[in-house]
Amino acid sequence: MSYKLDTQIQTATVYLDSTNCISREPFYKYQLATPIKCPTACRLLISVIGVSLPNVIMNITEHNNKLSFQILTSSGTSVLIYTITFPPGIYSAWSFRDYINGQTVAPANAVQCVYDEKQFKFSFVSTNRFQVFNNESKPTTCGALIGAAKDINNEFIYPIVYSSSPAYTVYMPSTVNFIPTPYVFVKINGISLSNINSRGDINDTLLRFPVNCEYGQMIQYRPTETNRYLVNKNNINEFNLRLEDIHNNPLAIPPGVELQVILKVEFIFPPEQLSYEVGTISHFFKENPITEAEPDDDDDEVEGL
Protein backbone atom coordinates (compact mmCIF):
# COMPACT_ATOMS: atom_id res chain seq x y z
CA MET A 1 0.00 0.00 0.00
CA SER A 2 1.24 3.49 -0.81
CA TYR A 3 1.07 6.25 1.74
CA LYS A 4 1.26 9.99 1.33
CA LEU A 5 3.94 11.60 3.49
CA ASP A 6 1.84 14.58 4.55
CA THR A 7 3.65 15.65 7.72
CA GLN A 8 6.63 17.96 8.12
CA ILE A 9 8.49 15.51 10.37
CA GLN A 10 11.85 14.46 8.99
CA THR A 11 12.26 10.83 7.91
CA ALA A 12 14.61 8.84 10.15
CA THR A 13 17.03 6.10 9.08
CA VAL A 14 17.98 3.46 11.65
CA TYR A 15 21.21 1.54 11.06
CA LEU A 16 21.07 -1.71 13.04
CA ASP A 17 24.45 -3.43 13.28
CA SER A 18 24.70 -6.58 15.38
CA THR A 19 28.14 -5.50 16.63
CA ASN A 20 26.22 -2.97 18.73
CA CYS A 21 23.30 -5.12 19.87
CA ILE A 22 22.97 -5.83 23.59
CA SER A 23 21.86 -9.45 23.10
CA ARG A 24 22.16 -12.02 20.29
CA GLU A 25 20.03 -14.91 21.59
CA PRO A 26 17.23 -15.63 20.93
CA PHE A 27 16.96 -12.23 19.18
CA TYR A 28 19.29 -9.54 17.98
CA LYS A 29 18.20 -6.98 20.57
CA TYR A 30 19.01 -3.33 19.89
CA GLN A 31 18.48 -0.75 22.63
CA LEU A 32 18.12 2.82 21.30
CA ALA A 33 19.68 5.60 23.36
CA THR A 34 17.40 8.03 21.53
CA PRO A 35 13.88 6.59 21.20
CA ILE A 36 11.85 7.09 18.06
CA LYS A 37 8.90 9.25 19.06
CA CYS A 38 5.77 9.96 17.09
CA PRO A 39 3.28 12.75 17.90
CA THR A 40 -0.12 11.48 19.02
CA ALA A 41 -1.80 12.90 15.91
CA CYS A 42 0.55 11.00 13.57
CA ARG A 43 1.38 7.40 12.74
CA LEU A 44 4.67 5.59 12.11
CA LEU A 45 5.66 3.79 8.93
CA ILE A 46 8.55 1.28 9.13
CA SER A 47 10.26 -0.34 6.15
CA VAL A 48 13.51 -2.21 5.42
CA ILE A 49 15.71 -0.63 2.77
CA GLY A 50 18.84 -2.78 3.07
CA VAL A 51 20.27 -6.00 4.55
CA SER A 52 23.83 -7.35 4.71
CA LEU A 53 24.82 -10.80 5.97
CA PRO A 54 27.84 -13.04 5.29
CA ASN A 55 26.84 -16.24 3.50
CA VAL A 56 28.19 -18.77 5.97
CA ILE A 57 24.85 -20.49 6.52
CA MET A 58 25.16 -24.13 7.56
CA ASN A 59 23.38 -26.59 5.29
CA ILE A 60 23.38 -29.38 7.87
CA THR A 61 21.88 -28.42 11.21
CA GLU A 62 20.32 -30.15 14.18
CA HIS A 63 17.07 -30.23 12.20
CA ASN A 64 18.33 -32.25 9.19
CA ASN A 65 21.40 -34.19 10.36
CA LYS A 66 20.08 -37.73 10.80
CA LEU A 67 20.15 -40.64 8.33
CA SER A 68 18.78 -44.05 9.32
CA PHE A 69 19.26 -47.47 7.72
CA GLN A 70 17.43 -50.72 8.38
CA ILE A 71 19.33 -53.98 7.87
CA LEU A 72 17.13 -56.85 6.69
CA THR A 73 17.30 -60.61 6.48
CA SER A 74 16.73 -62.52 3.22
CA SER A 75 13.05 -62.83 4.15
CA GLY A 76 12.74 -59.07 4.71
CA THR A 77 12.73 -59.22 8.53
CA SER A 78 14.45 -56.36 10.33
CA VAL A 79 17.80 -57.21 11.92
CA LEU A 80 18.64 -53.78 13.27
CA ILE A 81 18.11 -50.08 12.62
CA TYR A 82 20.88 -47.57 13.15
CA THR A 83 21.19 -43.80 12.68
CA ILE A 84 24.16 -41.74 11.53
CA THR A 85 24.18 -38.26 13.05
CA PHE A 86 26.18 -35.62 11.21
CA PRO A 87 27.84 -32.77 13.13
CA PRO A 88 26.25 -29.46 12.04
CA GLY A 89 28.32 -27.59 9.49
CA ILE A 90 28.76 -26.74 5.82
CA TYR A 91 28.93 -29.89 3.68
CA SER A 92 29.33 -30.66 0.01
CA ALA A 93 28.02 -33.83 -1.62
CA TRP A 94 31.58 -35.22 -1.47
CA SER A 95 32.21 -34.42 2.22
CA PHE A 96 28.77 -35.82 3.10
CA ARG A 97 29.62 -39.03 1.24
CA ASP A 98 33.04 -39.21 2.88
CA TYR A 99 31.56 -38.85 6.37
CA ILE A 100 29.33 -41.89 5.79
CA ASN A 101 32.15 -43.92 4.28
CA GLY A 102 34.49 -42.90 7.09
CA GLN A 103 32.47 -44.79 9.70
CA THR A 104 34.60 -47.65 11.04
CA VAL A 105 32.54 -48.94 13.95
CA ALA A 106 29.70 -51.42 13.39
CA PRO A 107 26.87 -51.10 12.57
CA ALA A 108 27.46 -47.58 11.15
CA ASN A 109 29.94 -49.01 8.62
CA ALA A 110 27.42 -51.46 7.12
CA VAL A 111 26.36 -49.10 4.32
CA GLN A 112 28.60 -47.11 1.97
CA CYS A 113 27.65 -44.03 -0.07
CA VAL A 114 28.32 -43.39 -3.78
CA TYR A 115 27.90 -40.01 -5.44
CA ASP A 116 27.13 -39.86 -9.17
CA GLU A 117 28.68 -36.59 -10.33
CA LYS A 118 26.95 -36.75 -13.71
CA GLN A 119 23.40 -37.16 -12.40
CA PHE A 120 23.99 -35.43 -9.03
CA LYS A 121 22.46 -38.37 -7.20
CA PHE A 122 23.40 -40.49 -4.21
CA SER A 123 23.18 -44.25 -3.99
CA PHE A 124 23.88 -46.46 -0.98
CA VAL A 125 25.53 -49.87 -1.18
CA SER A 126 25.84 -52.75 1.27
CA THR A 127 26.61 -56.46 1.39
CA ASN A 128 23.38 -56.86 3.38
CA ARG A 129 19.80 -56.30 2.33
CA PHE A 130 18.84 -52.88 3.64
CA GLN A 131 16.70 -49.78 3.12
CA VAL A 132 16.66 -46.10 4.06
CA PHE A 133 14.35 -45.95 7.05
CA ASN A 134 12.41 -43.34 9.01
CA ASN A 135 10.28 -43.33 12.13
CA GLU A 136 10.06 -41.27 15.31
CA SER A 137 12.75 -43.16 17.22
CA LYS A 138 15.08 -43.70 14.25
CA PRO A 139 14.45 -40.72 11.95
CA THR A 140 15.83 -39.68 8.60
CA THR A 141 15.64 -35.88 8.66
CA CYS A 142 17.87 -35.16 5.63
CA GLY A 143 15.41 -36.32 2.95
CA ALA A 144 15.54 -33.06 0.99
CA LEU A 145 19.32 -33.08 1.09
CA ILE A 146 19.94 -36.65 -0.09
CA GLY A 147 17.20 -36.68 -2.76
CA ALA A 148 14.23 -38.54 -1.28
CA ALA A 149 10.96 -38.44 -3.25
CA LYS A 150 7.69 -36.92 -2.05
CA ASP A 151 4.11 -38.19 -2.36
CA ILE A 152 1.01 -36.22 -3.38
CA ASN A 153 0.64 -35.02 0.23
CA ASN A 154 4.10 -33.44 0.12
CA GLU A 155 5.54 -36.00 2.52
CA PHE A 156 8.82 -37.85 2.00
CA ILE A 157 8.37 -41.46 0.95
CA TYR A 158 10.00 -44.04 3.25
CA PRO A 159 11.32 -46.64 3.30
CA ILE A 160 13.47 -46.43 0.18
CA VAL A 161 14.11 -50.05 -0.69
CA TYR A 162 17.14 -51.71 -2.20
CA SER A 163 17.73 -53.11 -5.66
CA SER A 164 19.68 -56.38 -5.93
CA SER A 165 21.70 -55.43 -8.99
CA PRO A 166 24.69 -55.22 -9.10
CA ALA A 167 24.76 -55.39 -5.29
CA TYR A 168 22.27 -54.44 -2.60
CA THR A 169 21.91 -50.80 -3.63
CA VAL A 170 19.45 -48.05 -2.80
CA TYR A 171 19.22 -45.56 -5.64
CA MET A 172 17.92 -42.17 -4.53
CA PRO A 173 15.04 -41.02 -6.78
CA SER A 174 15.92 -37.31 -6.84
CA THR A 175 19.03 -35.16 -7.01
CA VAL A 176 20.93 -33.92 -4.01
CA ASN A 177 20.20 -30.44 -2.65
CA PHE A 178 22.85 -28.93 -0.40
CA ILE A 179 21.45 -25.38 -0.53
CA PRO A 180 20.87 -24.45 3.13
CA THR A 181 17.94 -22.14 2.39
CA PRO A 182 17.13 -20.11 -0.73
CA TYR A 183 15.64 -17.30 1.36
CA VAL A 184 16.19 -15.79 4.78
CA PHE A 185 13.32 -14.32 6.79
CA VAL A 186 13.86 -11.31 9.02
CA LYS A 187 11.28 -11.39 11.79
CA ILE A 188 10.55 -8.72 14.35
CA ASN A 189 9.14 -8.97 17.87
CA GLY A 190 6.98 -6.36 19.54
CA ILE A 191 5.41 -4.95 16.36
CA SER A 192 2.20 -6.43 14.99
CA LEU A 193 2.33 -7.31 11.30
CA SER A 194 -0.22 -9.06 9.10
CA ASN A 195 1.97 -10.97 6.65
CA ILE A 196 0.81 -14.47 5.70
CA ASN A 197 3.01 -17.48 4.91
CA SER A 198 2.26 -20.36 2.52
CA ARG A 199 0.39 -22.22 5.28
CA GLY A 200 -1.96 -19.28 5.74
CA ASP A 201 -0.52 -18.34 9.13
CA ILE A 202 -0.20 -14.67 10.06
CA ASN A 203 3.35 -14.09 11.23
CA ASP A 204 5.79 -11.35 12.14
CA THR A 205 7.94 -11.45 9.00
CA LEU A 206 9.42 -8.03 8.32
CA LEU A 207 11.34 -9.03 5.18
CA ARG A 208 12.30 -12.04 3.08
CA PHE A 209 15.55 -11.73 1.16
CA PRO A 210 17.29 -14.21 -1.18
CA VAL A 211 20.67 -15.83 -0.61
CA ASN A 212 22.12 -14.23 -3.73
CA CYS A 213 25.82 -15.06 -3.53
CA GLU A 214 28.27 -17.95 -3.13
CA TYR A 215 29.56 -19.33 0.16
CA GLY A 216 31.97 -16.95 1.88
CA GLN A 217 30.65 -13.88 0.07
CA MET A 218 28.44 -11.12 1.45
CA ILE A 219 24.69 -11.19 0.90
CA GLN A 220 23.65 -7.68 -0.10
CA TYR A 221 19.96 -6.98 -0.56
CA ARG A 222 18.03 -3.80 -1.32
CA PRO A 223 14.32 -4.33 -2.11
CA THR A 224 13.17 -3.02 -5.47
CA GLU A 225 9.77 -2.28 -3.94
CA THR A 226 9.67 -1.16 -0.32
CA ASN A 227 6.93 -2.54 1.90
CA ARG A 228 5.85 0.01 4.51
CA TYR A 229 4.17 -1.15 7.69
CA LEU A 230 1.82 1.03 9.69
CA VAL A 231 2.86 0.77 13.34
CA ASN A 232 0.44 1.30 16.22
CA LYS A 233 3.11 2.71 18.51
CA ASN A 234 4.09 6.27 19.39
CA ASN A 235 7.36 5.38 21.08
CA ILE A 236 9.98 2.81 20.01
CA ASN A 237 13.11 2.41 22.11
CA GLU A 238 14.23 -1.06 21.04
CA PHE A 239 14.16 -3.52 18.14
CA ASN A 240 14.21 -7.31 18.43
CA LEU A 241 15.11 -9.14 15.21
CA ARG A 242 15.65 -12.80 14.48
CA LEU A 243 16.58 -14.74 11.34
CA GLU A 244 14.83 -17.90 10.16
CA ASP A 245 15.13 -20.26 7.19
CA ILE A 246 12.30 -21.44 4.92
CA HIS A 247 11.32 -24.12 7.46
CA ASN A 248 10.82 -21.54 10.24
CA ASN A 249 13.93 -22.78 12.03
CA PRO A 250 16.48 -20.34 13.45
CA LEU A 251 19.05 -19.57 10.76
CA ALA A 252 22.11 -21.76 11.32
CA ILE A 253 25.04 -19.35 11.28
CA PRO A 254 28.15 -19.19 13.49
CA PRO A 255 27.64 -17.11 16.64
CA GLY A 256 30.11 -14.41 15.60
CA VAL A 257 28.47 -13.57 12.25
CA GLU A 258 27.33 -9.95 12.03
CA LEU A 259 24.00 -8.75 10.63
CA GLN A 260 23.26 -5.27 9.30
CA VAL A 261 19.69 -4.08 8.73
CA ILE A 262 18.76 -0.57 7.60
CA LEU A 263 15.29 0.64 8.56
CA LYS A 264 13.47 3.72 7.36
CA VAL A 265 10.99 5.41 9.71
CA GLU A 266 8.46 7.80 8.21
CA PHE A 267 5.55 9.78 9.62
CA ILE A 268 2.07 10.32 8.24
CA PHE A 269 -1.28 11.58 9.43
CA PRO A 270 -3.78 8.74 9.98
CA PRO A 271 -5.46 7.70 6.73
CA GLU A 272 -9.08 8.64 6.27
CA GLN A 273 -11.20 6.08 8.02
CA LEU A 274 -13.64 4.44 5.60
CA SER A 275 -16.33 1.93 6.49
CA TYR A 276 -15.40 -1.68 5.75
CA GLU A 277 -18.95 -2.10 4.40
CA VAL A 278 -18.45 0.32 1.49
CA GLY A 279 -19.65 -1.36 -1.70
CA THR A 280 -22.14 -3.68 0.01
CA ILE A 281 -25.92 -3.57 -0.16
CA SER A 282 -26.26 -3.02 3.59
CA HIS A 283 -23.99 0.04 3.43
CA PHE A 284 -25.99 1.42 0.49
CA PHE A 285 -29.25 1.25 2.42
CA LYS A 286 -27.63 2.80 5.49
CA GLU A 287 -26.52 5.74 3.38
CA ASN A 288 -29.78 5.85 1.40
CA PRO A 289 -32.58 4.90 3.79
CA ILE A 290 -36.02 4.19 2.31
CA THR A 291 -38.67 6.52 3.73
CA GLU A 292 -42.34 5.69 3.72
CA ALA A 293 -44.42 7.91 1.41
CA GLU A 294 -47.10 10.06 3.13
CA PRO A 295 -50.71 9.24 2.07
CA ASP A 296 -52.20 11.52 -0.60
CA ASP A 297 -55.28 13.51 0.46
CA ASP A 298 -56.93 12.96 -2.96
CA ASP A 299 -56.68 9.24 -2.51
CA ASP A 300 -58.50 9.55 0.83
CA GLU A 301 -61.34 11.48 -0.77
CA VAL A 302 -61.74 8.84 -3.51
CA GLU A 303 -61.92 6.11 -0.93
CA GLY A 304 -64.62 8.13 0.90
CA LEU A 305 -66.84 8.17 -2.19
More confident residue, 26 or 91: 91
* Domain identity same for 50 and 140: no
Q: How many domains does the chain have?
A: 2
Full domain range(s) for residue 255: 12-57+183-268
Q: Could you give the CA distance from residue 231 to residue 7 in angstroms, rounded to a whole number?
A: 16
Whether the link from the prior residue into 87 is cis, omega within 30° of 0, is no
The answer to whether the beta carbons of residues 116 and 123 sit under 8 Å apart is yes
Inside any domain, residue 301: no
Residues 25 and 86 in one domain: no
Q: What percent of the chain has pLDDT over 70?
A: 91
Say whether both 91 and 141 belong to one domain: yes
Q: What is the pLDDT of residues 208-250, one digit of tens each?
A: 999 999 999 999 999 988 888 888 888 899 999 999 999 999 9
Tell me the mean pLDDT in the region 194-212: 85
Helix count and strand count (H, E) for the chain: 4, 18
228, 44 in Cβ contact below 8 A?
no
5-9 average pLDDT score: 83
Both 37 and 71 in a single domain? no
At 247-284, the pLDDT tens digits run 999 999 998 899 999 999 999 888 776 666 666 777 77
Domain boundary (136, 171, 206) is at 171
Supply the pTM of this predicted model: 0.83
